[in-house]
Amino acid sequence: MSRHTIEARLSLAWILVGMSPVMGGCMDAGQDIEADEIDIEADETLEAESEFTGAEEGEPQVIEPLSPCEPHIGLTDKQGSLIVGRGSIEGPCPNSTADLIIQEKVGPVWIERSWATVNGTGYDQIVEYDCTGHGQDWYRTKIFYPNVNGGISKYSNEIHVYC
């Protein structure tokens, strides 16, 4: 389920209970919502409610991840003039993807230099970057796995090498 679908369902939930995140308050007493203003079936409401953890009264509800999958980052090393990074996805999510990126440190900022896509689970994806002519620099690999909470980023070891 996309983040936008969840936001739409949350907005609808606010409307159903008489709260408006846009208006910043409750509906006036006696104010009714016309049935034709809300186009929703009962099972859609139940589906949206089932995706939230039960919270104690007064505590905010937390969205649980819809996927139990986890990105993993391997070691970054230098092989000849190539910077090589590795990453994978683990879990029951064969159609998931993640971005695997070689980064170079330029001043205080990490710049993305080379990309590869991890498609599904069960193997290590490799990403390479030819650093010829860059002199002495710092490199690392990043994996980014998008999910309903925005995503998970993990970083490898940093290497300081001469290219």
Locate tokens 């993305």: which residue? 112
pTM: 0.59
pLDDT tens, position by position, 64-87: 445 678 999 999 999 999 999 999
Residue 111 in this model has a pLDDT that exceeds 80: yes
Mean pLDDT of the chain: 73
Kind of pairing between the strands at 109-119 and 136-145: unpaired
pLDDT tens, position by position, 115-143: 999 999 989 999 999 999 989 999 999 99
Name the nearest CA neighbour of 159 among 74, 71, 89. Answer: 74
Q: Which residues, 6+ apart, have CB-to-CB distance to 124 below 8 Å?
A: 74, 86, 87, 88
Q: Structural domains in the chain? A: 3-50 (no CATH), 70-162 (2.60.40.10)
pLDDT at 124 (0 to 100):
93
- Take residue 71 and report the two structure tokens written for it: 């990105």
Q: Which helix (H) or strand (E) holds 97?
A: strand 97-106
Higher pLDDT pick, 67 / 149: 149
| Distance from the Cα of residue 109 to its chain's centroid | 22
Among 33-37, 94-98, 109-113, the range scoring the smallest mean pLDDT is 33-37
Residue 58 in this model has a pLDDT that exceeds 70: no
HSE-CB of 151 using CA atoms within 13 angstroms: 11
Cβ–Cβ < 8 Å for 69, 96: yes
Q: Per DSSP, what are the bridge partners of residue 82?
A: 79, 130
Residue 18 pLDDT grade (very low, low, confident, very high; cuts 50, 70, 90): very low
